[in-house]
Amino acid sequence: MVGFGITGKVCLALTSVALLVGGAFADNINVNGANRNMLVYAPSGIEKDRPLIIQMHGYNQDAAYQKNAAKWESVADTGRFVVVFPNGENKSWDISGDKDLNFIKAIINEMNNKYGIDKKRVYVSGFSMGGMMSYHVANKMGDMIAAIAPVSGGGGVNSPKRAMPIMHTHGTSDDVVNYNSTVNTVKSWVSAQKCSSNSQKIKPYPTTKPGSAASLEIWSGCTDNVEVRLLTIEGKGHWYSMDEAVSVNTSVEIWNFVKNYSLDGPAVAPVDTAQNINQGDTPADSSNISVPTDSSKTVVPADSGKITVPADSSIQGISWEWRNALGNKRSYAVFGLDGRRIGTVEAMDATEAETLKKAKFGQKAVILRKH
């Protein structure tokens, strides 16, 4: 991926604030003359010097979609950190140039002005094309980002400024961003960061959940003592995983990983006093933790259309995603309890789709997701 020098000074100005439900609000900032916007969630009464997570949506999605899909609020309340969901221009991200790098820098400055965040503990994560943008950030903003956690989107190594802690999450049945290509991308970072070739494999993950579809591979011994992790979810397609009943809560896993890193390096002990949220192998005091659950088993439309990859990019495995709109109807994917897609129904709305699903596939055998 080609990188370009920053040609303009980032101009930062608060232009409007609108309150939203649940303590989140819309924030507009001016970046190099362009009006950019985002959704911000901060726990009530948050202290200074707390971390920041920037969560980027997929192609043809937006901040509201990512906020709804990832359900960070209770995780942030427990861990005491700020979450920002930025909106990409035209529902896309500049994964080779400086436009959105400047946006992310402006977000960091804005959140520092508002909340006095710990600028040494800024983390970037994203879904699909947002995951690709996370890797672009790792290559170009390593001096400002402590760790990244891409989901369902890859990106190659291009002269990063420092060794980057990475936790990548991906489903094996992803038909938009190919799983095997992304595994190769992750391994390119393992090689570039001189990690041990002997990885640790945990299957199932967590080990306390024998039926989990998730597995975890960890490469340690990397430059500057960072780790690279690959969280694989067997049978999972191209969507953000919140299926705690059969695998893991992606947002919980991301936080429990990134919280151990700052620009000063990995912490010997957790960098704050908040307990690990109750997922994974680390024992946690879950008595006062509210972990979000995917109770609706519904995923809003995933990013559609074709992602155009720069010619010199190392990102591979991009394909057309099947369309979710057929005339005035929408196509709803139907999945078995094992997470595999077993068919579709076409309906005007979710209620009609649920009725058709029951008639065609049965009441208990499947879970309906809007795709």
Residue 235 scores a pLDDT above 80: yes
Residue 2 scores a pLDDT above 50: no
| Topology at the third CATH level for domain 14-288 | Rossmann fold (3.40.50)
CA angle (73, 79, 85) in 5-degree steps: 40
Residue 56 scores a pLDDT above 90: yes
What does the pLDDT read at residue 323? 28
What does the pLDDT read at residue 258? 98
pLDDT band at 240 (very low <50, low <70, confident <90, very high): confident
Chain mean pLDDT for the chain: 78
Q: What is the pLDDT of residues 286-342, one digit of tens each?
A: 333 333 333 333 333 444 333 333 333 333 333 223 223 233 456 667 666 555 567
Q: What is the 3-state secondary structure (H, E, C) of the chain?
A: CCCCCCCCCCCCCEEEEEECHHHEEEEEEEECCEEEEEEEECCCCCCCCCCEEEEECCCCCCHHHHHHHHCCHHHHHHHCCEEEEECCHHHCCCCCCCHHHHHHHHHHHHHHHHHCCCCCCEEEEEECHHHHHHHHHHHHCCCCCCEEEEECCCCCCCCCCCCCCEEEEEECCCCCECHHHHHHHHHHHHHHCCCCCCCEEECCCCCCCCCCCEEEEEECCCHHHCCEEEEEECCCCCCCCCCCCCCCCHHHHHHHHHCCEECCEECCCCCCCCCCCCCCCCCCCHHHCCCCCCCCCCCCCCCCECCCCCCCCCCCCECCECCCEECCEEEEEEEECCCCEEEEEEECCHHHHHHHHHHHHCCCCEEEEEC
Backbone angles phi, psi at 19, to 5 degrees: -75, 140
What does the pLDDT read at residue 309? 35
Residue 45 scores a pLDDT above 50: yes
pLDDT band at 219 (very low <50, low <70, confident <90, very high): very high
* Range list for CATH 3.40.50.1820 in the chain: 14-288
Measured CA to CA, the distance from residue 42 to residue 269 in angstroms comes to 25
Q: Rounded mean pLDDT of 251-280?
A: 72
Residue 60 scores a pLDDT above 70: yes
Measured CA to CA, the distance from residue 284 to residue 286 in angstroms comes to 6
Q: What is the pLDDT of residues 64-115, one digit of tens each?
A: 999 999 999 999 999 999 999 999 999 999 999 999 999 999 999 999 999 9
Top pLDDT among 286 and 152 is at: 152
Token couple for 352: 């009609």
Q: Rounded mean pLDDT of 223-251?
A: 93
Measured CA to CA, the distance from residue 172 to residue 285 in angstroms comes to 32
What does the pLDDT read at residue 364? 58
What does the pLDDT read at residue 24? 77
Q: Rounded mean pLDDT of 178-183?
A: 92
| pTM of the predicted protein model | 0.71
Residue 271 scores a pLDDT above 60: no
What percentage of residues in the chain have a pLDDT greater than 70? Answer: 67
